[in-house]
Chain A
Amino acid sequence: MTSPLENPAAVPVIEARGLTKIYQMGEVEVPALRGVDFVLGEGEFVVLLGASGSGKSTLLNLLGGLDVPTDGWLAYRGRELTHLGEAGLTAYRRHHVGFVFQFYNLIPSLTALENVALVTEIAEDPLSPAEALELVGLGPRRDHFPSQLSGGEQQRVAIARAIAKRPDVLLCDEPTGALDFQTGVLVLEVIERVNAELGTTTAVITHNAPVARIADRVVMLADGLVHGVEANATRVPASELTW
């Protein structure tokens, strides 16, 4: 029997069972995740939806090895992440995960190309930084500093930086959060293209429900729990989105 939670066709890349995260704020405990089951299948494009404070970022950070769960089981390709420790998690991020954040997080003192090179220099079989920038359509802006690029352009550099190492998983936390509609679409197109052309397993957090239509599956979070999962019969290309 298959539940809509899982995509039967795909090999699981990341698998989480009963994932719990409790932030200790002095006396007060803030439960951010309260037992989440979640699977990310090979090559899948998943969108995470949910109200503010529902635990989306917390989940994504756990999946990406930025933080450790309070309880529960979490594995990458069958290898448990929960007990890896600091060095192990660093290696995991270094070799397998690409991150994109709402605020780009580029290094201001490095040019677009150098920001990408930052990752290719430590990765195992990376794209060339120029190639990665071409992929996001920023080849001509390679020698510009972040401050000389628009927000959308900066975000595309961040995506180029995330995918240059040919990650197995691309995790994006509100990549369009700081952008206008058209620029946002442009950024989503790039992510979509990476997913399609490089086959990178992708998870994207968004506040815009319409964006969910470009995904294979949509996972809805509420109050630290998975509230529902929907599989899209057909994926709508980002270019055709409206909201």
Chain B
Amino acid sequence: MLVDALHRKLFRNLAELRGQLVTIALVVACGIAAYVCLRSTWDSLLFSRTTYYERYRFADVFATCKRAPEALRGRLEAIPGVAIAETRVTERVLIPLDDLPEPASGRVVSIPAGRSPALDALFLRSGRLVEPGHNDEVVLLETFAKGHDLTPGSRFPVVFNGQRRQLRVVGTAASPEYIMAMAPGDLTPDPLRFAVLWMDRDALAPAFQMQGAFNDLTLRLQPGASEPAVLEAVDTLLEPYGGLGTVGRSKQLSHFMLSGELSQLEGMASVVPVIFLGVAAFLLNVVLSRLVFLQRSQIAALKALGYRDLTIGLHFLELVSVIVLLGAAGGLGLGIWFGRMMTELYAAFFHFPVLEYRLAPSVVFAAVGISLLAALAGALFTVRAVVRLPPAEAMRPPAPTIYHRTVLERLGLLALLGPAARMVVREIERRPLRLLLSSVGIAMAVAITVIGQFWGDAMDFMIDVQFGGAMREDLTVVFTEPRPARAVRELAHLPGVLRVEGLREVPVRVRSGAGFRDSILIGYPDEPDLRRLLDQYGKPHPLPVSGVVLTDKLAELFDIEPGQSVTLEVREGDRRHLDVLVSGLVGESFGLRVHARAATVAPLLGEEPLVTTALLLVDPATAGATRARLKELPAVASVTRRDNLAERFVEQSRAMIVTFSIILTLFASVIAVGVVYNNARVALSMRSRELASLRVLGFSQAEVGAILLGELAVQVLLAIPAGLAIGTWLAGLMMSTVDPETYRFPVVVSARSYAFAVVVALVSGVISALLVRRRLQSLDLIGVLKTRD
């Protein structure tokens, strides 16, 4: 095979520079891998969810009411924009299982006799659907069934409306409506304690006196229909039948929770990969432009020999392309591998029936394209600058442009330093831009280490505020319906109960102009201790004597300022509309809520003080007995342990975040080492002649090393604080991609994360220093004297 001289030069260059090329390619690979992994996981999950929703006909609108006649269905379907209306009967039930200390709560949902539901179809995982006429048949939510070893054929007891019945499992299923299956009021899904039971409508209706009636409605909208208009129309139609609220998909519990989970992922998947790729591109640009710069005199010689500028330019672009493409290939492979792993992990977690790993060609093109462009741009600019020089000039070493006595020298401070330190200071003072670029590169590596850690920090902080500061009760008791305030005092008399406080929680719709948000009005005791109002940083927010406090995001949505009033439409009882004074705002981490003193709430609702929830502090020694007693009280709908809640919350959200953090940190560390090492290597090769000359003059290896590594140390030390600051800023940017109506995490980075990022930078520095020192020992003293650069 015939290889021309220029290509032979290319191969030799690649071989000579292999240490550097490998690290550059690694940086590219990590940038691309992070990008591909996060983007493809995100794409795949969204795609899987969308497919699931489509295939199983997830509804667009959900409404509940007390009891509406089936005849209303026609009128609902006639609302402009409504394509399909499906009515159902749903109720809460209790499931007293032997393997649970207290009954699990369940939701029984009717399915039309003899057909699959038009909306929210079941994804049958085992067995079959129920058959008409068999009143004891039930299809059970798969996660619950699995958790309790219930399989088709198993029988288990269910308490319907106070009546105990024995049901027979005929199938297990999942549903797009219950991807995150949880009881209303719970913070997280608890697969062992929440079940969905699908039963034949004719078998179910009599148990709740719902023959010829419905209390649950799902709608499919026509394409292009206005959701708010439909919601309003449905609300109006259901109003006379005890309408309990109509919501779009975005407020459907499972979808809402799932979106919350995915939005954290989105924050990572949309911003982080761009940052990774951006950083990789930047580094590539810096490193390659220097690499080309080193070949300055060779370029001049080629020109002198008569090579055309274009040929020379292409030669260097080929060199760069080889590096990037190698990195890209590795990065793609790694990214796809990690992406598949993550997607499977998530899909298992969400029980998606359809899981398809998707890697959009656009993601690949973007990843490789951006890296290649950045690299080529970096190389091209330098090649162009060099090619433009007359060869004679290019063959001389570049002249230091400006010379002046540096500040330190004028102050006489330099004289205090040894010659090596003096050279370091001079080099830095004379080439501040080079130092700056190197430092920025290392700072970026530090920054991505910080954001790799940030999500975990944000979660920890939020959990700490939520479960350590805001919720201080041991048990949360929810009543079946609002109870008089004396219910709280009664609970206080139970053995083992140390302290009780009541909350009044009322569903309300906050309205301003044409817009509204569904929210909850919470009435607190005058001196709340067990449940306090805290802002996202954990700072207590006192409740005003009159008026209400809004979540600041809610006020922002409607442009409400403290001192103005807001309309609250109460969504229970007499459904009155209230105009209340907003006396303060609180920056909470999640939810859109309205807070007030119970003493303020009762007169507003025109009622004696009532409570819906009781918060209990109990004697840990007898906590089990206390809980058992509470469960037996007829007025009690649920009893939740705070420690359980916190655990579940941590378990669920942490697992994913931690996996991602590890992957990101891994990539960030590789990038950090890549950058620092390359900086040192480039510095070494740019100055090897100088350093060899110094060695000839009698400078020892240690002294010459100090000059080079001193500069490296300064770069790293400058980069660390900058990187921590940039990382914190990027964390904020990442946070801003999360739907602010769902979560508003404060941008808090823990000292541990900062320390970790610093350690990564320092370790990269040390590794690089060791690698470079080895090179320094084999510096060719004689060779360098024979040539003139």
A-to-B contact residues, CB < 8 Å: 57, 61, 66-67, 86-87, 90-91, 93-95, 97, 99, 101-103, 105-111, 114, 118-119, 121-123, 143, 145-148, 161, 165, 173, 178
Contacts and interface: CB of A to CB of B under 8 A. Distances in A.
A105 B689 contact: yes
A93 B696 contact: yes
B782 A66 contact: yes
A196 B787 CA distance: 30
A108 B782 contact: no
Contact of B701 (A90, A95, A107, A173): A90
B694 interface: yes
Contacts of B430: 109
Contact of B785 (A105, A108, A118, A123): A105
Interface stretch (B317-325, B394-402, B522-530, B614-622): B394-402
B365 interface: no
Given A61-B782, A66-B696, A103 B396 contact: no
Contacts of B431: 109
B427 interface: yes
B290 to A, nearest CB: 16
A121 B700 contact: no
A131 B126 CA distance: 98
- Greatest chain A CB density within 10 A among B696, B699, B786 is at B696
B788 interface: yes
Interface string B395-414: 01111100100000000000
B512 interface: no
A94 B699 contact: yes
Given A93-B696, A107-B693, A147 B701 contact: no
B782 A118 contact: no
Contacts of A105: 689, 693, 696, 784-785
Contacts of A143: 403
A132 B689 CA distance: 24
A118 B396 CA distance: 22
Nearest to A107: B690
5 contacts: A57-B786, A61-B782, A67-B782, A94-B697, A143-B403
B432 interface: no
A132 B145 CA distance: 94
A103 B785 contact: yes
Contact of A147 (B396, B696, B788): B396
B246 to A, nearest CB: 74
Contacts of A110: 426
A140 to B, nearest CB: 16
A108 B697 contact: no
Contacts of B693: 105-107
Nearest to B430: A109
B781 to A, nearest CB: 5
Contacts of A148: 399
A111 B690 CA distance: 14
A90 B549 CA distance: 77
Contacts of B306: none
A173 B785 contact: yes
Interface residues of B, number: 33
Shortest Cβ-Cβ A-B pairs, 10 listed: A94-B698, A147-B399, A103-B788, A93-B698, A121-B419, A105-B693, A108-B397, A90-B700, A101-B785, A107-B690
A91 B698 contact: yes
Given A118-B419, A147-B397, A103 B697 contact: no
Nearest to A105: B693
B631 interface: no
B695 interface: yes
A87 B426 CA distance: 26
B706 to A, nearest CB: 13
A119 B697 contact: yes
Given A103-B788, A109-B427, A111-B403, A93 B697 contact: yes
B430 to A, nearest CB: 6
A127 to B, nearest CB: 15
Contact of B690 (A108, A123, A145, A178): A108
Contacts of B698: 90-91, 93-95, 97, 119, 122-123, 165
Contacts of A101: 785
Given A93-B696, A99-B696, A110-B426, A86 B701 contact: yes
Interface string B692-714: 01111111110100000000000
Contacts of A165: 698
Nearest to A89: B698
A16 B419 CA distance: 34
Interface in B348-400: 396-400
A96 to B, nearest CB: 9
B780 to A, nearest CB: 10
Given A109-B400, A145-B400, A148-B399, A161 B697 contact: yes
Given A145-B403, A147-B397, A99 B426 contact: no
Nearest to A64: B696
Given A101-B785, A103-B788, A108 B419 contact: no
B691 to A, nearest CB: 10
Contact of B400 (A87, A91, A147): A147
Contacts of B423: 118
A67 B400 CA distance: 32
Contacts of A94: 697-700
A101 B786 CA distance: 8
Contacts of B403: 111, 143, 145
A122 B426 contact: no
Interface string B189-200: 000000000000
A178 B703 CA distance: 31
Contacts of A103: 785-788
Given A57-B782, A91-B698, A93-B697, 5 more contacts: A86-B701, A93-B698, A107-B694, A108-B398, A147-B397
Contacts of B690: 107-109
Given A93-B697, A147-B399, A148-B399, A109 B426 contact: yes
B701 A108 contact: no
B694 A90 contact: no
Nearest to A86: B701
A95 B422 CA distance: 21
Nearest to A103: B788
A219 B566 CA distance: 105
A14 B589 CA distance: 81
Nearest to B396: A147
Interface string B416-437: 0011001100110011000000
B681 to A, nearest CB: 19
B397 A146 contact: yes
Interface in B180-211: none
Contacts of B427: 109
Contacts of A161: 697
Contacts of B782: 57, 61, 66-67
A91 B693 CA distance: 15
A87 B788 contact: no
Contacts of B422: 121
A105 B785 CA distance: 7
A13 to B, nearest CB: 17
A80 B374 CA distance: 56
A93 B696 CA distance: 7
A122 B699 contact: yes
